[in-house]
Amino acid sequence: MNPASPRSLLLTVLTRTGPLLALILLVAIVSALSPDFRKTENFFNIANQMSFVGIVAIGMTWVIILGGIDLSVGSMVALLGGLGIYAMNAVAERSGSPAWGIAAGAAIMLLGGPILGAVNGMVVIWGRVAPFIVTVATMAAFRSIIMYNAEGSEIRSAVSSFADLGSGGFKLEFLHSSRGLPILLGFPTLFFLGAALVGELLLKKTVLGRRVYATGDNPIAARYAGVPVNRVTMIVYALSGLTCGLSALLNSSRLNSIASSSTGQMYELDAIAAVVIGGTSMTGGKGSVLGTVVGVLLLGVISNMLTMLGIPNYIQGLVKGCIIIGAVLIQRTQQR
Amino acid sequence: MLKLASIVVGLSLLAANHSLALVEPAAPAPEAAQPAKAKKPKIGVSVPAADHGWTAGIGYWAKKAMELHPECDWVYATASGPEKQIADVEDMMTKGIDALVILATESAPLTPTAKRIHDQGILIVNVDRGFINQEDEPAIADIFLEGDNKAFGCKSAQFVAEKMKKENRTNLVILTGIPCTVDTDRVTAAKEVFAQYPEIKILDTQAAHWNRQKGLEVMQTLLTKHKKIDAVWAQDDDILLGAMQAIKEAGREQEMFIVGGAGMKDVVKMVMENHPMVPANITYPPSMIATGIHMAASAMRDGKKAEVLQFMPKHLMMDVELVTPQNAKQYYFPDSIY
């Protein structure tokens, strides 16, 4: 195994680019079929629309590399977003300052996330319950708490400036949409890409990251090798909660509300799909955040494409399913 | 903990009592022979869980109506799907309900259960989604109360089509809900109307799942896809709010108007205040569950069910109303959650 040999170098490149290859292929095909799809602003839209589930998928990557799973993410986004808006509205009203309200709401979401994640982690570690069961249970429980409080309805922000975070962005003066307006690089996109970069660096360049891979690869061996498996597990579930908090913050700001029943629904499945498309192994020990980013974008391109090509509603699921399987197959052949 | 345990024991005792009475209806227990006034009728209310704004409204109005009738005992349950709803209704039978108000999650799967219950002499008030009746058998529901989904599609589409014609608008986008019979009824009726206006061009029909986020995303894509959109028929107010945000962000408010539906208070308010993008709305009031509950209570409370049923309507179709700036005030309920 000489790392410098051309053959292994080629293999590494292909493994790394497997999901990317699928994405490029799909974008090329759809671009050829639909001139509207090719519009610059469309790609920015896709990235921005996928940011909310994308941020969650970063945490999910960590959890899956660890050998776990977190099905509670969607419910967590709804719960954190809802509680945050309650706090924001209350503080803004008492203090008369929207800024304090937003700070309080953001604090609840970003601090509450790791706490809820740690709850998952605790039951997994000390209850010795399979992560699948723990997070199925908390998925039901988190959703139920916020639906009970809101009686199933929407929780609305009373602070109008709060919406700027989710809907705003930087105007790219050098890029113009087909209507001649400067294109907006949305804050959610920036947070998504930023979080992905941090997530990838932490995973690849730190002791914690190496411990996550080791635990996911073989938890018993990792324990013998002196990895504090419990602590690592706790941190990873808390990080997953943190990404839910960030997603909740951007999502609630984007829609200026949280729908207690529907916000974050199916996030867990989209996130898991993105992680797997991105080349992370469901059995743990292998994978990368950058792959997940590609997986997220691929899912975004698929759902955008279904509308752009005018594919009838009822058949969209079939098309989506086939492309996902195709993407995973491309990625797998590259890995061999 | 003790309290919880005693509640559980109490409930199971209660349930046991009633199921015994059901097994042997011929020999009424002595308590049942007491004057009818002493025994409160027990009525079950089974509705879909809140999966979007409208169903949340159903929950709100159901609770409100139950509070108005303390003379009945209420058993309330929300179900996320037909299986859960069947289980809910069976639990209610175990608890010994005398009547059932039900908004079915799905018509077909609930029909056999409803029939079984009805055969045991339980009064059934069916709201919005009907059971499937056999032609040679009596109807399963004693009272069937529904909103007119075809008129919902038809009336709102009529308004959109006329306005488009008057203002020389041609390009229309249709946003639909969660794929189901209610959605199909509305969309089919609307498309029949639009078909009568040859100058109207339907650019796209896309599902937005009665959901604000989906409305936003789908509309954003459609705005990229189509250079000129004159009108959006969105069918539902959650979708409308999402789509409106996408239109605003694209800076294309001047270009199109949008008509939703179901009478969400925020949207009715926009109509009332002459919002340039939202000229009208159409009601499909979730308060219809309250009508059903009220009817069940009034049929049961005096112990004269048979007599009351003689003159109660068997089938009520509630018309839907077009909300315009002129009449919006009467459809605006600021305290409602929907």
User: Which residue of B lies nearest to A300 if distances are taken between CA atoms?
Assistant: B217
Q: What CA–CA distance (Å, rounded) separates A185 from A169?
A: 5
Contact A49 B212 (CB under 8 A): no
H-helix or E-strand spanning residue B206: strand B201-207
B38 vs B108, higher pLDDT: B108
Contact A261 B60 (CB under 8 A): no
Chain mean position to CA B102: 10
Contact B179 A313 (CB under 8 A): yes
Interface of A with B (CB under 8 A): 34, 36, 39, 41-42, 45, 49, 147, 150-154, 167, 178, 181, 251, 254-255, 257, 259-263, 303-304, 307-308, 310, 313-314, 316
> What structural domains and CATH numbers belong to chain A?
36-335 (1.10.3470)
Q: What is the pLDDT of residue A227?
A: 94
Least confident of A42-46, A153-157, A285-289, B167-171: A153-157
pLDDT, mean of residues B243-248: 93
Q: What is the pLDDT of residue A10?
A: 57
pLDDT at B7 over 90: no
User: Which residue of B lies nearest to A177 if distances are taken between CA atoms?
Assistant: B224
Contact B59 A308 (CB under 8 A): no
pLDDT at A334 over 70: no
Architecture of domain B149-284+324-331: 3-Layer(aba) Sandwich (3.40)
pLDDT at B158 over 60: yes
pLDDT, mean of residues B94-105: 89
A-chain CB neighbours of B235 within 8 Å are: none
Torsion angles phi and psi, residue A148, rounded to 5: -65, -45
Q: What is the pLDDT of residue A310?
A: 82
Q: CB–CB of B323/B274 below 8 Å? A: no
Contact B218 A45 (CB under 8 A): no
Interface with chain B: mutation pick from A39, A56, A151, A311, highest number of B CBs within 10 Å: A151
What residues contact A335, with CB distance under 8 A and at least 6 apart? A14, A15, A18, A279
Least confident of A70-74, A308-312, B274-278, B311-315: A308-312
Nearest to B101 by CA among B134, B135, B138, B129: B129
User: What is the rounded end-to-end Cα distance, in angstroms, of chain A?
Assistant: 16
Q: What CA–CA distance (Å, rounded) separates B221 from B204?
A: 11
Torsion angles phi and psi, residue B220, rounded to 5: -60, -45
How sure is the predictor about A1, in pLDDT bands with cuts at 50, 70 and 90? very low
Nearest to B236 by CA among B176, B146, B321: B176
Q: CB–CB of A189/A195 below 8 Å? A: no
Residue B105 touches chain A, beta carbons under 8 Å: no
Q: What is the pLDDT of residue A5?
A: 61
Least confident of A95-109, A275-289, B16-30, B256-270: B16-30
pLDDT, mean of residues A144-164: 88
Contact B221 A45 (CB under 8 A): yes
Q: What CA–CA distance (Å, rounded) separates A282 from A280?
A: 6
Q: What is the pLDDT of residue A206?
A: 96
pLDDT at B23 over 70: no
Strand, coil or helix: B175: strand
Residue B77 touches chain A, beta carbons under 8 Å: no
Q: What is the pLDDT of residue B13?
A: 46
Q: CB–CB of A56/A251 below 8 Å? A: no
pLDDT, mean of residues A201-214: 95
User: Which residue of B lies nearest to A265 if distances are taken between CA atoms?
Assistant: B51
Q: What is the pLDDT of residue B112?
A: 84
Chosen CATH of B42-141+287-319 out of 3.40.50.1970, 3.40.50.2300, 3.90.1310.10, 3.90.1150.10? 3.40.50.2300
pLDDT in tens, A80-119: 999 999 999 999 999 999 999 999 999 999 999 999 999 9
Residue B166 touches chain A, beta carbons under 8 Å: no
Within 10 A of A95 (CB to CB), how many other CB atoms are there? 13
Interface with chain A: mutation pick from B183, B218, B224, highest number of A CBs within 10 Å: B224
Question: Hey, what are A168's tokens?
Answer: 């705003």
pLDDT in tens, A13-71: 555 667 888 899 899 999 999 888 888 888 998 999 999 999 999 999 999 999 999 99
Question: Hey, what are B156's tokens?
Answer: 């709102």
Least confident of A106-110, A142-146, B32-36, B84-88: B32-36
Interface with chain B: mutation pick from A39, A40, A41, A45, highest number of B CBs within 10 Å: A45
DSSP B277: T
User: Which residue of A lies nearest to B245 if distances are taken between CA atoms?
Assistant: A255
User: Which residue of A lies nearest to B78 if distances are taken between CA atoms?
Assistant: A152
Q: Where in chain B is the domain with CATH 3.40.50.2300?
A: 42-141+287-319, 149-284+324-331
How sure is the predictor about B223, in pLDDT bands with cuts at 50, 70 and 90? very high
How sure is the predictor about A219, in pLDDT bands with cuts at 50, 70 and 90? very high
Question: Percent of chain A scored above 90 by pLDDT?
Answer: 63
> Hey, which residues 263-292 in chain B have their CB within 8 Å of chain A?
none
Question: Percent of chain B scored above 90 by pLDDT?
Answer: 48
pLDDT at B31 over 50: no
pLDDT at B259 over 90: yes
- CB nearest B176 (choices: A34, A254, A313): A313
Return mean pLDDT, chain B.
85
Q: What is the pLDDT of residue B34?
A: 46
B76: closest CA of chain A, how far (Å): 14
How sure is the predictor about B184, in pLDDT bands with cuts at 50, 70 and 90? confident
Q: Which residues pair with B73 in a beta bridge?
A: B42
Tokens 């690089």 sit at which residue? A185
How sure is the predictor about B32, in pLDDT bands with cuts at 50, 70 and 90? very low
pLDDT, mean of residues A191-212: 96
A-chain CB neighbours of B50 within 8 Å are: 147, 151-153, 260-261
- What is the signed CA dihedral for B298, B69, B85, B104, rounded to 10 degrees? 50
